[in-house]
Structure 1
Amino acid sequence: MQIANDTVVQFNYTLKDEQGEVMDTNEGKAPLAYLHGHNNMLEGLEKALDGKSEGDSFSVTLAPADAYGERDESLIQRISVRHLQGAKRWEPGMVAMVHTENGPRQVVVVKVGRFMADVDLNHLLAGRTLTFDLDVVSVRAATEEELEHGHAHGEGGHQH
């Protein structure tokens, strides 16, 4: 079966940066699962996986626009240090959680003072060209329940 809208895809990946250094992988773990065509995956990855079949292995390099977006310097904001969660003492470069009106969000501490901190709200991988080595483990038709819920269920997907 080929990957198309309304199929559940399980795959393994290795993510590499611009220099080819491995940044993340799920090798040796359960494959990731997603419902194709339902905005559950990076747009560039979903396009690259479209039409592939179980057993296919390939690499795809995504420009920032097809991955996590370009960096937006206007997303560096000053907030109260008390809103940073995840550590007692903060230093530039540390990742913190901040609760926003849209839910929790990871931020990177850029500068920290006694009461205020400058934080970067860009995704950690924004502005980066990324290469994904992908192995398609399985492809199957989505169940009615998965289509109703808008995501894959079971191993590698959402557990109910």
Structure 2
Amino acid sequence: MSAAKPSSPSVSARMSRQARRDTAPEVAVRKLLHAAGYRFRVNTRVPDMPRRTIDIAFTRAKVAVMIDGCFWHGCPEHATQPKANAQWWREKLDRNMARDRETTEHLAAAGWTVLRFWEHEAPEGVAGLIAFTVKQELRESARPRP
């Protein structure tokens, strides 16, 4: 890991102001889910993983929803590579993607269904897939076990 820092104090200040929660894509999806009668937790801590959260959590169904920003999480369609301080940024963004994989694997191992979406995906489609998955998981958990 490089000891380099963001290329300037203004870049550092801009990065620190980036929304970590309640982004426009998250709020749009949450509004649709709530209007459809779904209740969920927002920015819930990932069990046994400090400083990591689930954007939208359906705890009874054990469905974790993450809505990832294209730049910060490496969207294959929209991610950009900054030219200034390129090595520092590459390492930072690679660490973000590795952390995403680790979080997904941790939750899956704990019995959660993890759904990841990109910020550019249509909220209606995202909410529909989430609703379908939550219903399916609740049906599965209600079945008697042999």
When the two structures are superposed, what TM-score results if normalisation uses the length of structure 1?
0.23
Higher strand share: 1
- Higher helix proportion, which one? 2
- Of structures 1 and 2, the larger Rg is shown by 1
Larger RCO (CA within 8 A; separation ≥ 6)? 1
